[in-house]
């Protein structure tokens, strides 16, 4: 199979409250950058959509596109998705943002009132949006950081709700750890298809996940070939 084109959104989003303040999260983007570097080492063509983080990939040849907010990332995905065969959605997208009119992107809120209320609205589910307009043969991969006690059922529910091919479930308890303890679920498979078994560091996880994606692509290509053979028999 020819080397795939990979699109990786990574890092947090910053949802502006005013020109100096934002709603953000603690994602560093390290995992997505490790995935981009590993894919580039394999000769894949990689576009990294990178949120507000000082991290940068170390491999040459990675196309780097910066974004800041969920709306920015949504626009970048709209431009880029159709040019790639694989989307690995590693961005930590904010679930809420200030409703339009509450944020003042060019001004600065004063400290004059004793209390402040900001109304937030739910952000669109970007991964579900990508799934709704995917091309045949595109593979979509998501992440689910979940409490260990209900990790598999929550990840399975997200896999189905977002209409994606694979989801990487990670225990919430390992957040900000140096290592990753991942379980991979696939659409159409009742049981997890792979697990790292124990905590592995982010570069090792990146190699592990790209191996699993390659296997899944090969299996899909074989199924497609078998379907074509059956149709022409
Ligand atoms: N995601 C997305 N758009 C959002 C929120 C999340 O594309 N607005 C993506 C994430 O990048 C991740 C996957 O969906 O790959 C799961 O994200 P997660 O935050 O676990 O799920 P949510 O859909 O936000 O559900 P909840 O917060 O209720 O657990």
In a domain, 147, yes or no: yes
Active site amino acids:
25
The protein residue with its alpha carbon nearest to ligand 1, atom 6, reads 93
DSSP reduced 3-state for 4? coil
In a domain, 172, yes or no: yes
Counting ligand 1 atoms within 8 A of each CB, the residue from 49, 142, 156 with the most, and so the one to mutate, is 142
In a domain, 110, yes or no: no
pLDDT tier for residue 233 given thresholds of 50, 70 and 90:
low
Cα–Cα distances in Å, from 169 out to 60, 97, 175? 30, 25, 12
In a domain, 158, yes or no: yes
For residue 102 the two structure tokens come to 């509450």
pLDDT digits (tens, 9 = 90+) for 137-167: 999 999 999 999 999 999 999 999 999 999 9
Rounded CA-CA distance 213/195 in Å is: 13
For residue 230 the two structure tokens come to 């059956």
The protein residue with its alpha carbon nearest to ligand 1, atom 18, reads 144
DSSP reduced 3-state for 8? strand
In a domain, 52, yes or no: yes
Q: Taking CB atoms and a 6 Å cutoff, what residues make up the pocket around ligand 1?
A: 89, 91, 93, 95, 123, 125-127, 142-145, 158
In a domain, 168, yes or no: yes
pLDDT digits (tens, 9 = 90+) for 177-205: 889 999 999 999 999 999 998 889 999 99
Number of domains observed in the structure of the chain: 1
Global pTM value: 0.95
- Domain interval for residue 15: 5-105+116-232
Rounded CA-CA distance 165/157 in Å is: 13
pLDDT at 173: 83
In a domain, 130, yes or no: yes
125 CA distance to ligand 1 centroid (A)?
Answer: 7
Rounded CA-CA distance 3/65 in Å is: 21
Task: Find, among 17, 13, 36, the residue nearest to 25 by Cα.
Answer: 13
Q: Where are the alpha helices (DSSP H) in the chain?
A: 30-41, 70-80, 126-132, 151-162, 202-232
* Closest ligand 1 atom to Cα of 9: 11
161 CA distance to ligand 1 centroid (A)?
Answer: 11
In a domain, 111, yes or no: no
CATH number at residue 95: 3.40.50.10300
């Amino acid at each position: 199979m020819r080397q795939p084109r990979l699109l990786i959104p990574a890092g947090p989003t910053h949802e502006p409250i005013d020109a100096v303040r934002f709603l953000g999260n603690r994602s560093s983007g390290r995992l997505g950058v490790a995935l981009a570097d590993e894919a580039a080492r394999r000769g894949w063509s990689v576009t990294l959509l990178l949120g507000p983080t000082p991290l940068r990939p170390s491999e040459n040849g990675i196309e780097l596109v910066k974004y800041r907010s969920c709306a920015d990332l949504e626009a970048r995905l709209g431009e880029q998705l159709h040019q790639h065969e694989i989307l690995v959605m590693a961005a930590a997208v904010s679930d809420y943002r200030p409703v339009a009119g509450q944020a003042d992107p060019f001004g600065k809120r004063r400290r004059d009132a004793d209390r402040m209320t900001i109304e937030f609205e739910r952000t669109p589910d970007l991964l579900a949006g990508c799934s709704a307009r995917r091309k045949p043969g595109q593979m979509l991969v998501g992440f689910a950081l979940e409490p260990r006690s209900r990790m598999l059922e929550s990840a399975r529910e997200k896999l189905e709700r977002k209409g994606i091919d694979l989801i990487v479930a990670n225990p919430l308890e390992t957040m900000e750890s140096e290592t990753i303890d991942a379980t991979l679920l696939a659409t159409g498979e009742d049981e997890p298809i792979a697990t790292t078994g124990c905590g592995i560091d982010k570069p090792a996880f990146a190699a592990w996940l790209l191996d699993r994606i390659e296997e899944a692509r090969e299996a899909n290509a074989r199924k497609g070939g078998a379907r074509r053979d059956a149709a022409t028999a």
